[in-house]
Structure 1
Amino acid sequence: MKLEDLESIMDEAVFVAFLGHFGGRRLYVPKNMGADHPISLVIGLEAATALSDYLQGESVDLPTLDRYNRRIKRRKILELRKKGVSFDMIAWEIGCSRRFVIQICADGREEIEAERPEPKFRQLELF
């Protein structure tokens, strides 16, 4: 089970509330979700029912909300760098340090290089 699968079941605000309340725990999701169940009380019956239909009585280990937010920041940093945005501008836009941006980009270098558009100017080769 991937976190993206759970995220696709709910909208972002509901997912953030879900992780804010239950994050960092192993959570059992029953097959039949009632309106008075703690999960339903936090995220609403509709989202809780969708979660129950998806997991069908399984337990799931949830990350903390902080870990989820770091993952979102990492994704945004890599997307901006793929577009050619400078380290300084990314740090300013994301609200983190330049050093953090450089570390994330170093870790994701292969991903960035695979999707970066071709340079506008090429080096002239002399014979």
Structure 2
Amino acid sequence: MKLEDLESIMDEADFVAFLGHFGGRRLYVPKNMGADHPISLVIGLGAAKMLADYLQGESVDLPTLDRYNRRFKRKKIRELRKQGKSFDMIAWECECSRRFVVQICRDGKDEIEAEWQARKPVQLELF
């Protein structure tokens, strides 16, 4: 199971609460979820039932919330760079070092440059 799969069946607040409480563990998710189950108490019965329907009595190894936050931060850095923001501004907004921003942008260079090319205005020849 991928992190994106779990993320797609819950809203962000429930997902963050779920990983914050259960992250880093192997968790058994029963097929039938009751209101008094620990998962329901953390994310609410509605989200817990959706999770139970999705996993159908499986155990799942959950990443930590820190891992999710790092992935989210990398994505945000690339998005801000695509918008043309400077390395320094991105580092300030994402509360990380400029060096980290440069490294992430270097890793996603092709994706960022493709976005910049798509945003360039078309220059028409006059004569």
Higher mean displacement: 107-116 or 82-91: 107-116
Structure 2: stretches of 5+ with no match in the other structure: none
2:41 partner amino acid: L
Structure 1: stretches of 5+ with no match in the other structure: 123-127
1:18 aligns with 2:26: no
1:72 aligns with 2:72: yes
1:108 aligns with 2:108: yes
> Which runs of structure 1 show a deviation greater than 6 angstroms over 4 or more consecutive aligned residues?
none
Structure 2: distance between partners of 1:41 and 1:16: 14
Structure 2: distance between partners of 1:82 and 1:91: 14
Structure 2: distance between partners of 1:117 and 1:30: 49
Structure 1: distance between partners of 2:73 and 2:82: 14
- Structure 1 residue 91 displacement after superposition: 0.6
Number of paired residues?
122
Normalising to structure 2: TM-score of the pair? 0.88
1:76 partner amino acid: K
Structure 1: distance between partners of 2:92 and 2:45: 39
- Structure 1 residue 115 displacement after superposition: 2.3
1:8 aligns with 2:8: yes
Identity of aligned residues (%): 81
- Structure 1 residue 5 displacement after superposition: 1.7
1:86 aligns with 2:69: no
2:34 partner amino acid: G
- Structure 1 residue 35 displacement after superposition: 1.2
The residue correspondences of 1:21-32 to structure 2 (distance < 5 A) are 21-32=21-32
RMSD: 1.7
- Structure 1 residue 42 displacement after superposition: 1.0
Structure 1: distance between partners of 2:113 and 2:55: 37
Structure 1: distance between partners of 2:116 and 2:52: 40
Q: Secondary structure at the match of 2:34?
A: coil
Normalising to structure 1: TM-score of the pair? 0.88
- Structure 1 residue 117 displacement after superposition: 3.0
Structure 1: distance between partners of 2:106 and 2:61: 29
The residue correspondences of 1:37-56 to structure 2 (distance < 5 A) are 37-56=37-56
Structure 1: distance between partners of 2:107 and 2:78: 10
